[in-house]
Amino acid sequence: MKETFFFDLDGTLIDPAQNAVPISTINALKRLKQQGHFCAVATGRSLPSLKESNIHTIIDWDGFVCSNGQQVFLDEKTVLYQHYLDPALIKKVVDYANKHHLNIQFQAEHSFLLREVDEFTKTAHGFFHEPIPTTIKNYENENIEMLMVYTDNDEHFKQLNKIEGLIVYPGQSTYCDIVSSTSSKHVGIVELLKAKFKDPHDYIAFGDSTNDQEMLDHAKHSIAMGNANSELKKTADIITRSVQHDGIYSACMIYNWI
């Protein structure tokens, strides 16, 4: 039986400690595609950031759900769905960040920061081994796909989550992702599978962080990585090994997907 798979990127496909996809994961992905399974990425990253990781070169992917569902691509160049944050809501986040001296990344065609790089910003980008935007400027009504607010204080996440129309996903490092409350990886998955004439409820999902929760909740089979957030593990159907210990390959072997 041909299955449909969605994989988170950081902490699921990519081992953050090594900033690399484990060889076992590469082998699993190639075998899945060789057997005719549908394989797509569902990530909080933008498409340019995803491509910086070179993940797009491993196999011929069937699609990319990016920016926590705010962007969906049929391939590396073809946009299927794109949603931008409401400028009025962005300004509320900016007001809060200015009041509490927090830094923000505005994820856009040309991403930029609100203020000079601080330790939280350095730590978060070090976790992803991802370059820090060099442009520092005020928000001027640009089209913004997603916001990242840098802090290690959960209280800030709670307060930001109270802004109606937005949803906050605390990350695995010193940041949170902020997107429209009408968007999620699952929303993007539904858009992609409908376009591919596939059942939007018939998929298998692998993830490790809070922004994977809805994607896993709606999956036919939900798999949390061994290194996953503890709350995600509570609701997943399966807990596999960690990313650095062949988690994806192990699950695919155990359930005869490869």
pTM beyond 0.95: the answer is no
34 pLDDT more than 90? yes
31 pLDDT more than 90? yes
Region 143-169 average pLDDT? 97
Q: Which residue has the tokens 């902490």?
A: 11
Q: What is the pLDDT of residue 129?
A: 87
Say if CB 73 and CB 64 are below 8 A apart: yes
Q: What is the pLDDT of residue 130?
A: 86
152 pLDDT more than 90? yes
Region 116-120 average pLDDT? 97
Q: How confident is the model at residue 190 (pLDDT cuts 50, 70, 90)?
A: very high
The pLDDT tens digits for 79-114 are 999 999 999 999 999 999 999 999 999 999 899 999
What mean pLDDT is reported for the chain?
96
Q: What is the pLDDT of residue 160?
A: 98
**What whole-number distance in Å separates Cα of residue 242 and Cα of residue 125?**
21
Q: What is the pLDDT of residue 144?
A: 97
